[in-house]
Amino acid sequence: MPTIELLTPQAHAHVRLRTPTAAVSHFVAIVAPEFTAAAACCPILFTKDAGTGAFYAGAMFGFKPGEVLLATSAARAGFEPLMFQREGFFMSDRNLAIDRDHERFSDSEGDPLFDEGGTPTKSLRAIQRALGEASAGLQQTNLFIAAMTELKLIEPIDISLTFGAERLRLQGLYTVSLDRLRDVDDATALRLFRSGHLQLIHTMAGSLKQIGRLATLRSLRA
């Protein structure tokens, strides 16, 4: 079980922050403001939370668990998901908390969280910004998903790939239907445009071309 502690300069003056070292997942949850950067390197798709059944958006870095084709920042065209940046940190009401047992935290290695005067360092301020952006972005994403659900624009996507003797069929993934989008009335189309949701739709749709890029990277590894 994680050891969650509210972060204070008094209790954590000695704590230092290591660079994230956890393995990158093949499917990483992202929020709406990240869509443009993510679409430059990988497909953006919806899937459902196994516990709640609710949709969430994610960037696909590989085709199956344990397989990561975009493991480095360079491979991701510099895209660093907010989830990576805030690893080990949490928001508790309006307070910042940390998992003291997380591997990012050390008493001797990495950047300090606070300076000698108890002021957050540059590293901690970057985390605070990432958490703020993630929180605001999650609200935007939930509104986007709610709108897509209301308009019945979310549809399953069947991704089938063949690599030599291996055939992969990806299930449980969803995208936005451009065919159904064309059928919405003018008032709805204008609402989607003004809310920014139309841009998110087309960013998701455009990102699907990155499936071919991932397939090429996988073939080159064989």
**pLDDT value, residue 23:** 61
Task: Count how many domains the chain has.
Answer: 1
**pLDDT value, residue 22:** 53
**pLDDT value, residue 3:** 81
**Residue position matching structure tokens 């979310």:** 154
Tokens of 184: 């919405």
What is the residue range of 85's domain? 4-221
E strand or H helix at 46 = strand 44-48
**pLDDT value, residue 43:** 98
Q: Residues of 140-155 as b/e, b for ≥16 C-beta within 10 angstroms?
A: bbbebbebbeebebbe
The DSSP output letter for 72 is S
Q: What is the largest CA-CA distance in the chain?
A: 62
Mean pLDDT by groups of 10 residues along the chain of 222 residues: 87 90 82 97 96 96 93 91 90 87 91 94 93 94 98 96 93 96 97 98 98 94 74
Q: Where are the alpha helices (DSSP H) in the chain?
A: 35-39, 82-85, 122-150, 178-181, 186-195, 197-207, 210-221
**pLDDT value, residue 10:** 93
**pLDDT value, residue 141:** 98
**pLDDT value, residue 20:** 73
